[in-house]
Structure 1
Amino acid sequence: MILKMIDLSLMAEHLTVHKAELDKLESLICSIQEPEIKQVATEQYMIMQNHVKVMVALMDPSQNQMIGIKDLHKWEPVQFSCQGISIGMTPESTLTILKTSAETMANKNFNSGLRMKAANVRNIHIHMALQQMKILNRYLELMNKFMKDRAPESSREKQVQTYETFKKMFKL
């Protein structure tokens, strides 16, 4: 199948972003000491590496109609050639960067998927976004475990006041 130019363009842009994200992830993984964080980051790397293979296959007009969501689950183990690499960041900073990476990739995949024309290409990108969202949730769990929550607490009064404002606004 010959893809619409928008599908091809979005994937071409995506692939360059994936290359940069994979390079960044590899550097981070090599410097992570905490096994739980390293495990999730490695899984994100494998997922994104698979996304690259799927997108490249979707560009191939002789096979792209046969590519589907099932192809997103064919992860391959990875080996990193870490040679004493340390980027000198705290685990909290590393987790924040990893979380932001997963958020960004989920957002890019979802927004691109909404714009794509070929049904399988669109559905694959929506599922790529969901995979990144699952990774994001795991990073958030790790942040709750390893970091102090920095979001300010609300109060019952503020919440009820906000609730009443919108209940009145929408005449509920």
Structure 2
Amino acid sequence: MLLPIIDVGLMNEHLSTHEGLLGKLDLYLIDSSATYLQKIITIQQTVLKSHIQVMLELLNPSNENWIELPSINLEEKLSISWPVYSDFDTLTKRITLELQSAAKAMAHTNFTSALMMKNENVKHVHYEMAVQQATYMNYISAFVKEKDWAPSIKASQVTQRKVIEHFNSLI
């Protein structure tokens, strides 16, 4: 089946991004000595390769079948225990923060692209890809939060009440 040019263009861009990210993940595996970090990097590589395979199937002009994103139970795969010890080195922290950021960017890109895509199958697959990346990101974010590597500043009650008062007239 021939796809709308916007779908082809967006997938071309995604495939290039995946190629670059896979290269970066290969370097992280070399630099990382922490077993748990190697496992989460490997999981992201598996997810990205699955996304590449599906996009290539979608791009195949002789394909007339509905393509599904293979189901990957990320909750099960990511149910590894983070080490309890707290002597994480700077490199581990930075790689973890980069994994979080990359997954967030991929989820955002996949979702935004799905909104622009025209072919229903291509659109559906990219929504699913966004969910997979968001699930991966949420796992990493929970660990980052636990380690307080990216503290979140809370708003004051006064600030929150001001917002409520300002918009209360809308209901």
What's the TM-score, normalizing by structure 1? 0.81
Partner deviation per Cα, 1:87-136 (whole Å, 9 max, x = no partner): x9522221111111001111111111111111111100110000000001
Report 1:88-99 matches (<5 A). Answer: 89-99=90-100
52 and 100 in structure 1: CA distance in 2 versus 1, 3 angstrom threshold: same
In structure 2, distance between residues paired with 1:60 and 1:143: 40
What is the correspondence of 1:21-40 to structure 2 with a 5 Å cutoff?
21-40=21-40
User: Using a 3 Å threshold, how does the CA distance of structure 1 residues 108 and 148 change in structure 2: closer, same or farther?
Assistant: closer
Identity over aligned pairs, percent: 28
Tell me, in whole angstroms, the C-alpha distance in 2 between the residues paired with 1:62 and 1:135.
33
AA at the equivalent of 1:43: I
- The one-character-per-residue Cα deviations of 1:144-164 (angstroms, maximum 9, x if unpaired) are 222344222322232222222
Asked if 1:128 corresponds to 2:115, the answer is no
Q: How big is the alpha-carbon RMSD for the aligned residues of Structure 1 and Structure 2? A: 2.3
Residues 32-111 of structure 1: pairs in structure 2 closer than 5 A: 32-63=32-63, 65-69=65-69, 71=70, 73=72, 89-111=90-112
Who is 2:164 aligned against? 163
TM-score (norm 2): 0.81
Whether the 8 Å contact between 2:110 and 2:127 is mirrored in structure 1 is yes
**How many residue pairs get matched?**
157
Bigger mean CA deviation after superposition, 108-117 or 127-136: 108-117
8 Å CA contact 2:93, 2:149 repeated in 1: no
Q: Which residue of 1 aligns with 2:117?
A: 116
**What's the secondary structure of 1:68's corresponding residue?**
coil
Paired residue type of 1:62:
S
Structure 1 residue 74, shift from structure 2 partner = 10
Structure 1 gap ranges (5+): 76-87
- In the alignment, structure 2 segments of 5+ residues that lack a partner are 75-88
Asked whether the equivalents of residues 92 and 146 of structure 1 are also in contact (C-alpha less than 8 Å), the reply is no
